[in-house]
A and B are shown apart, each in its own frame.
Chain A
Amino acid sequence: MGTINPIAEIIEMAHKKGAAVLVDGAQSCSHIKPDLQALDVDFYVTSAHKMCGPTGVGMLFGKEEWLNKLPPYQGGGEMIAEVTFAKTTYAGLPHKFEAGTPNIAGGIAFGAAIDYLNSIGFNEIDAHEHELLKYATEQLTTIEGLKIYGTGVDKTSVISFNIEGIHPYDIGTIVDKLGIAVRTGHHCAQPIMDYYKIPGTVRASFAFYNTKEEVDTLVKAVKKAKKMLT
């Protein structure tokens, strides 16, 4: 739905109650650059492939005090300091959590992807994506019977929608054939689908490399799909 949650407030409230906070930034971090120190978050995770990086590699940030407290989740080469029959001492951070041969190529490529995003600039990315979001929202809402889910003021550049009486899957299939890739289905978020009493939605996501012309193609494709399916 793209809603930007007030994580700074959430973290502050949680900390007051003595709870640690893990933020899953997989969806947001290609759009919003997190300031981990300012957020004072305990853990932050993200996935490289959401940031133009390779698949199968991600990142876990954790406060040093937490990481020192946590036991290793896996054993293997490079993660021990000393092993005797009496006891095993683990290597320091980050080696304790990096057993065996790491995904070296994946790590290097992930770094290159982040450098690439930084070279474009997150302010520029944000400005461009918001323009696309605003334009696409305006254009899509001209289609009769189209309903957008997630209309918060503070949102990232995704639009989840349905057209009255049409299954999202059908719209997705037609739009796909017209050259536009959208996600259809419940997006692994069945509780919210149950809340709205819908089988799923069509979701268009806009990134820094998308253009207004592509938004036009999307709108045209959705109109065509509506015509075919009603």
Chain B
Amino acid sequence: MTIQEIQNDLIDEFSMFDDWMERYEYMIELGKSLPLIDEELKTEDKLIKGCQSRVWLNAEIKDDKVVFTADSDAVITKGIIAILIRAFSNQKPEDIIEADTKFIDEIGLKEHLSPTRANGLVSMVKQLKLYAVAYQAQLKN
């Protein structure tokens, strides 16, 4: 599936809920399916800066595609990073770099977060894209 197709799926899934409470419950559920980062990789340098709770993110390259794993000590944050990983993992670096992130607004993720928390979300997206940029450079060499 392309990033766009996955994002459309996510928008569809979240549009099924009438209120934000159900969306949060679903988000927490999605957090449980997050591909977890190895415990030994939960180091300072894997932490995403700008998040209120701790979020570790790792990326590896497999068959020219970037595979992300992550974890967080807060369950809602875990849900948010799970959504982002579902949208961006297992894709080619250039596709990750070029992908737009409008689905975040369409799901209504950002408007339900306080400004500090929304900044954390922006940091997560930035970190995912930075990994893609780094791997694209590596693959070109």
Q: Do A and B bind each other?
A: yes
| A residues with CB within 8 A of B | 166-167, 169-170, 172-174, 176-177, 184-185, 199-200, 228-229
**Minimum Cβ distance to chain A for residue B29 (Å):** 11
Residue of B with least CB distance to A228: B25
| B residues with CB within 8 A of A | 20-21, 24-25, 28, 52-54, 73-77, 112-114, 117
- Once bound together, how far apart are the Cα atoms of A99 and B87, in whole Å? 54
- Once bound together, how far apart are the Cα atoms of A150 and B19, in whole Å? 36
Q: Which of A170, A177, A185, A199 contacts B20, CB < 8 Å?
A: A177
Known contacts A170-B76, A170-B77, A177-B20; can you find 16 more A-B pairs with CB under 8 A? Answer: A167-B73, A167-B74, A169-B53, A169-B74, A169-B77, A170-B74, A173-B76, A173-B114, A173-B117, A184-B52, A185-B52, A199-B53, A199-B54, A200-B52, A228-B21, A228-B25
**Which residues of chain B come closer than 8 Å to A172, judged between CB atoms?**
114
**Which residues of chain A come closer than 8 Å to B52, judged between CB atoms?**
169, 184-185, 200
**Which residues of chain A come closer than 8 Å to B53, judged between CB atoms?**
167, 169-170, 199
**Which residues of chain B come closer than 8 Å to A170, judged between CB atoms?**
53, 74-77
Q: Is the interface of B mostly helix, strand, loop or mixed?
A: helix
Between B25, B28, B74, the greatest number of chain A beta carbons within 10 A of the residue's beta carbon is seen for B74
**Which residues of chain A come closer than 8 Å to B75, judged between CB atoms?**
166-167, 170, 229
Q: Which of A166, A177, A199 contacts B21, CB < 8 Å?
A: A177
- Once bound together, how far apart are the Cα atoms of A174 and B74, in whole Å? 12
- Once bound together, how far apart are the Cα atoms of A176 and B91, in whole Å? 35
- Once bound together, how far apart are the Cα atoms of A169 and B31, in whole Å? 15
**Which residues of chain B come closer than 8 Å to A185, judged between CB atoms?**
52
> Are B20 and A229 neighbours in the complex by a CB distance under 8 Å?
no
**Minimum Cβ distance to chain A for residue B16 (Å):** 18
Residue of A with least CB distance to B25: A228
- Once bound together, how far apart are the Cα atoms of A228 and B76, in whole Å? 10
- Once bound together, how far apart are the Cα atoms of A200 and B77, in whole Å? 15
- Once bound together, how far apart are the Cα atoms of A176 and B112, in whole Å? 9
**Which residues of chain B come closer than 8 Å to A176, judged between CB atoms?**
114
- Once bound together, how far apart are the Cα atoms of A172 and B73, in whole Å? 14
Given contacts A176-B114, A199-B53, A199-B54, contact A169 B20 (CB under 8 A): no
**Minimum Cβ distance to chain B for residue A34 (Å):** 31
Given contacts A169-B52, A173-B117, A199-B53, contact A229 B73 (CB under 8 A): no
> Are A228 and B74 neighbours in the complex by a CB distance under 8 Å?
no
Given contacts A173-B117, A177-B21, A185-B52, contact A228 B28 (CB under 8 A): yes
Q: Which 7 pairs, one residue from A and one from B, show the smallest C-beta to C-beta distance?
A: A167-B74, A169-B74, A169-B53, A170-B74, A170-B76, A169-B52, A173-B76
> Are A174 and B54 neighbours in the complex by a CB distance under 8 Å?
no
**Which residues of chain A come closer than 8 Å to B20, judged between CB atoms?**
177
Residue of B with least CB distance to A186: B52
> Are A173 and B54 neighbours in the complex by a CB distance under 8 Å?
no
Between A166, A170, A174, A199, the greatest number of chain B beta carbons within 10 A of the residue's beta carbon is seen for A170
> Are A177 and B24 neighbours in the complex by a CB distance under 8 Å?
yes
